[in-house]
Amino acid sequence: MAIVRVFVGLDYHVDFVQVCVMNRKGKILRNRKAANDWQAIAAMVAEMGRVASAAIEACSGAAHLTDELIHNAHWPLQLSHPGYVARMKQSPDKTDFSDAQLLADLSRVGYIPKVWLAPPEVRELRRLLRFRQQLADQRRNVKLRIGALLREHRVAQPAANPWTRRWRIWLEALELPAETQWIIGRQLRRFDAVNLDIAAAESRLAKLAERDRLLQFLLTLSGIGLVTAVTLRAEIGRFDRFHNGKQLSRFCGLSPRNASSGNRQADAGLIRAGNPQLRAVIVQAAHRLKRYDPRWSALAMRLRRRGKSGSLLAAAIANRWMRSLYHQVQHWSTAN
């Protein structure tokens, strides 16, 4: 008896997974809930036939389940981009039943908008990096709150640079209303605690960098520090998964967006895509490169003579620097 080849769509939830099984002609063989467990899902689908292709939307927890089904059940399972899948719907309604069916159908016709499945060690690096960024955001918020309190009381700032030791001594010696002083004291305690956590997170990142060849190489580049290098490694993962430097730059959100129509030819700034934190880190690196690296300083001078603004200079340098970086590291196997 011939083995039936089936196509599977999985709509992931914490408590269960909606599983849609479809045959080659598009007929739904089964569309029901299963326990959020790879063995239960694999057993349900095995009753229908052998999996020819399967898809699941990328979301929190989906990557771990995908790993289990790929390595334990040997499924040809792919992560799909939830934004692009949503645009392919022909109905504004959203149900688990219809979402799983759409994924199964897209898998059947080969139209899955694929998302790269990062290996577990890269996902761990991302978690640590993003935790460090959350701490940095908390530190920034503390600074903003204290600054707002000082403005409310119309306190003139001293000549010392903000948040240096000298500035802290001045702040703690200020004579302010009792409640304001108490609030500032609590905020300073929080500031110091967050700084300790940031230092601990960066220490762990530095230890991970010691075991990663690509990170070690990135740290040798001009203008690249630990946080920038780790962000590139964690968010990009493998450079060799891109076909060229232009594709990599576009993934990072650094390519200009074309807004041409008819006879009008125009750009509309950078494309609205990519990880915002990744793009911000690369643009910050570009600002350093245009100041300290001769190659990029020369490019900045040429663009400035043509009347380009500082932000455009940084974006242009970031775009070209990423394309250049691709050719330096794309031949490396960075999966490990």
The pLDDT-based confidence of 263 (bands split at 50, 70, 90) is low
Residue type for position 328 = Q
**Per-residue pLDDT band at 336 (split at 50, 70, 90):** very low
pLDDT tens-place string over residues 70-85: 999 999 999 999 888 8
- Inform me whether the pLDDT recorded for 266 exceeds 70: no
Mean pLDDT for 143-148 is 96
Residues 6+ apart with CB under 8 A from 278: 231, 232, 235, 236, 252, 253
Helix 120-152, helix 178-210: angle, nearest 10? 160
* CA distance readout (Å), 17 to 49, 118, 142: 19, 21, 41
Alpha-carbon span 133 to 228, nearest angstrom: 12
**E strand or H helix that includes residue 185:** helix 178-210
Residue 260 CA: distances (Å) to CA of 253, 267, 272:
19, 7, 16
Give the position of tokens 């001769």: 294
Which is it for the CA torsion 109, 110, 111, 113, positive or negative? positive
Q: What percentage of the chain has pLDDT greater than the value 70?
A: 94
Q: What is the mean pLDDT of the chain?
A: 90
CA 250 to chain centroid, in Å, comes to 14
* DSSP assignments along 299-310, one per residue: HHHHHHHTT--H
What is the pLDDT, as a whole number, of residue 264? 65
Dihedral Cα 156, 162, 168, 170, nearest 10 deg:
-30
Please count the other Cβ atoms lying within 10 Å of the Cβ belonging to residue 33: 16
96-125 pLDDT, tens per residue? 999 999 999 999 999 999 989 999 999 999
Q: Which of 30, 3, 4, 28 is nearest to 17 (CA)?
A: 30
Could you tell me the pTM of the whole model?
A: 0.85
